[in-house]
Amino acid sequence: MPIGVVIATLAGCGRVGFDPLGDQATGHDEDGDGVPDSVDVCPFLDDDQRDQDDDGVGDACDPEPVVRRQRIALFLAMTADDPVIPRQVGTWRIRDDSWETTGIPYSDLEVDVPLVSAEIYAGLDVIAHPAFPQQIGIDAGDFDGMPYYYGEVYRNDAGGNGFTGLSHYDGGTSYSPVNHKPLTTPFPIGSTTVHLTVEAVNPQMAFSSDLVQVQPVSSSTPLFTGASSFAVTVQSSIVAVRYMAVIVTER
């Protein structure tokens, strides 16, 4: 994939490395719960700010709420104040509080974050589906011609035929399913969240999306040994990305 530029700033709305600003924090509030992103323990969920293990990740978004080994490695509210600018593939329109694409023919936003054991989230507004094939998902890999795994919702024709699940790209021309479930209905329009879990210590992955009414799809992936980047991917759909977040577990 093309390489762009990652720019670091000192602005305080997005978060990298998760250094809260204490009582001085002000600014953007992505989830609208009255707590600024810079000190919110779950900046993408309207929650009660409980954090039983006091690890800086609130119970509502902590995969192990009573085990102190998680941290929010990245939170981007997709504003001008974010500390990282994602690399862009395809055409993106940067708005005040989101990045929008038509996904034609293909678009993604790539961010460098070490991924050994991580929960990756993206909040999306799905606006329209102007063409086929349609895809919305999250990739986890090193990209640039290297193999990687990804979770996706994919619909390839007007008849509703498609699938949701985990897939693998071999770095060349081949894409193969790891674990798929059939999709027989159109993608809905509206706000949604996509979520990819990656685990390299005991290799496994899981993907979920409230775009479609199916249970999360998981699979053992013995070849997954970690990754240096993730990407939110869109194909042939008009989508606004509202936030991107990564919660890592220290192993």
224, 146 contact by CB (below 8 A): no
pLDDT in tens, 42-64: 999 999 999 999 999 999 999 99
Look at residue 22 and tell me whether its pLDDT is greater than 50: no
What is the C-alpha to C-alpha distance for residues 154 and 129, in angstroms, rounded to an integer?
A: 12
CATH topology for 15-249 is Jelly Rolls (2.60.120)
Contact criterion met (CB below 8 Å) for 126 and 211: yes
How many degrees, rounded to 5, is the angle at CA 233 between CA 227 and CA 238?
A: 165
Q: Are strands 204-209 and 217-219 parallel, antiparallel or unpaired?
A: antiparallel
pTM: 0.91
The fraction of the chain above a pLDDT of 90, given in percent, is 78
Which residue type sits at 181?
K
- The pLDDT tens digits for 150-174 are 999 999 988 778 999 999 999 999 9
Residue 2 is predicted with a pLDDT of 36
23 or 28: which leads in pLDDT: 28
Query: Rounded CA gap, 158 and 177, in Å?
Result: 21
Contact 215, 207 (CB under 8 A): no
Picking from 2-11, 95-104, 167-176, which range would have the lowest pLDDT averaged per residue? 2-11
The 10 Å Cβ neighbour count of residue 3 is: 10
Q: Is 119 exposed, middle or buried (0-12, 13-18, 19+ CB in 10 A)?
A: buried
pLDDT-derived band at 144 (thresholds 50, 70, 90) equals confident
Q: What angle do CA 118, 92, 209 make, to 5 degrees?
A: 40
